[in-house]
Chain A
Amino acid sequence: MRMGQNPAKAGIKAWQPHRLGIGIISYVPNQSGYFEESLQIIKIEIASLRRHTSEAFDLYLFDNGSSTEVQSELIKLNQSGAIDFLTLSHHNIGKFGAMNWLIASMTNEWIGYTDSDFYFRENWLQESLKLVEAFPDAGLVTAQPNIFDQLEGKSKALTAVDPEKVNVYEQLLETDVIEDYCRGIGATEEMGQKYLAQKSTLLENKSSGVKAVFGATTAQYLAPQEKIQQVFPMPHEFLIAREEDNELNRRIDAKGWLELSTLRPLVVHMGNHLDELIAAEAKEAGLFAGNVIERASTETHKNNPAWRMLVVFNRVSFLRKLFKRLYVNLFELYSIEKK
Chain B
Amino acid sequence: MRTGQNPAKSVNEVARPQRITVAVLNYIPFISGYYADMLNVLQTCLGSIWANTDLPYDLMVFDNGSCAEVKDYLNTQVKEERIQYLILSEKNLGKGGAWNIILDAAPGEVIAYTDNDCYFYPGWLSKSMTLLETFPNVGMVTSRPFWGRKEHNTATFTWAENNPEARVYNGKFLDWETYSSFTMSLGVDEETVRTWFESNEDYRVDYKGLTAQIGASHYQFLGYKKVLQQFLPFEMDRPMGQVRQLDIRVNEAGYLRLMTAEPLMQNMSNQVSPEFQKIQKAAPKNNKHSRLWNFPLIRRPLMKLYDLIFRLYYGGSFQ
Residues of A whose CB lies within 8 Å of any CB of B are 1-9, 11-17, 27, 30, 32-34, 36, 65, 68, 71-72, 75, 78-79, 81, 83-94, 97, 101-102, 104-105, 107, 183-186, 236-241, 269-273, 275, 293-298, 300-301, 304, 306-307, 310-311, 314, 323-324, 326-328, 330-337, 339
Contacts and interface: CB of A to CB of B under 8 A. Distances in A.
Contacts of A337: 290, 293
Contact of B306 (A17, A65, A327): A327
B281 to A, nearest CB: 17
Contact of A71 (B75, B101, B233): B75
A71 B71 CA distance: 12
B136 interface: no
B312 A300 contact: no
A323 B302 CA distance: 12
A269 B268 CA distance: 50
20 contacts: A1-B269, A1-B273, A4-B270, A13-B237, A14-B237, A33-B309, A68-B79, A88-B86, A107-B97, A183-B1, A240-B9, A272-B2, A272-B3, A273-B2, A300-B318, A306-B308, A326-B305, A330-B309, A331-B11, A334-B299
B13 interface: yes
A11 B240 CA distance: 8
Max count, chain B CB within 10 A of own CB: residue among A8, A71, A97, A304: A8
Contacts of A237: 13-14
Given A85-B88, A86-B87, A331-B7, A186 B1 contact: yes
Interface in B180-224: 184-187
Max count, chain A CB within 10 A of own CB: residue among B7, B273, B293: B7
Nearest to B88: A86
B12 A14 contact: no
Contacts of A300: 317-318
B62 to A, nearest CB: 9
B89 A85 contact: yes
B78 A310 contact: no
Max count, chain A CB within 10 A of own CB: residue among B14, B94, B107, B316: B14
B7 A238 contact: no
Contacts of B71: 75, 78-79
A236 B239 contact: no
Contact of A14 (B34, B86, B239): B239
Interface residues of B, number: 83
B126 to A, nearest CB: 24
B239 to A, nearest CB: 4
Interface in B92-117: 92-94, 96-97, 100-101, 104-105, 107
A35 B29 CA distance: 35
Contact of A334 (B6, B15, B303): B303
Contacts of B303: 30, 32, 330, 334
Given A81-B90, A88-B86, A239-B14, A12 B239 contact: yes
A269 B2 contact: yes
Given A1-B269, A272-B3, A239 B241 contact: no
Interface string B34-55: 1000000000000000000000
A9 B299 CA distance: 51
A327 B306 CA distance: 5
Given A7-B34, A324-B313, 16 more contacts: A2-B271, A13-B237, A15-B91, A33-B4, A34-B4, A90-B85, A93-B15, A237-B14, A239-B11, A273-B2, A295-B315, A295-B317, A323-B309, A327-B306, A334-B303, A339-B286
A88 B93 contact: no
B124 interface: no
B280 interface: no
B315 A72 contact: no
B89 A84 contact: yes
A167 to B, nearest CB: 34
B88 to A, nearest CB: 4
B8 interface: yes
A8 B89 CA distance: 16
A298 B309 contact: no
B237 A89 contact: no
Given A30-B303, A33-B306, A101 B317 contact: no
Max count, chain A CB within 10 A of own CB: residue among B6, B96, B97, B233: B6
Contacts of B268: 1
A70 B289 CA distance: 24
Given A2-B185, A71-B75, A183-B1, A297 B317 contact: yes
B87 A1 contact: no
Contacts of B12: 238
A339 to B, nearest CB: 6
A331 B11 CA distance: 9
B310 interface: yes
B11 A333 contact: no
B238 A11 contact: yes
Given A6-B270, A8-B27, A97-B14, A272 B107 contact: no
B15 A105 contact: no
A27 B293 CA distance: 21
Given A1-B187, A298-B315, A339 B81 contact: yes
A103 to B, nearest CB: 9
Contacts of A336: 11, 15
Contacts of B9: 239-241
B317 A334 contact: no
Interface in B1-32: 1-15, 17, 27, 29
Given A3-B271, A88-B75, A83 B90 contact: yes
B87 A85 contact: yes
Contacts of A236: 14
A327 B236 contact: no
B244 interface: no
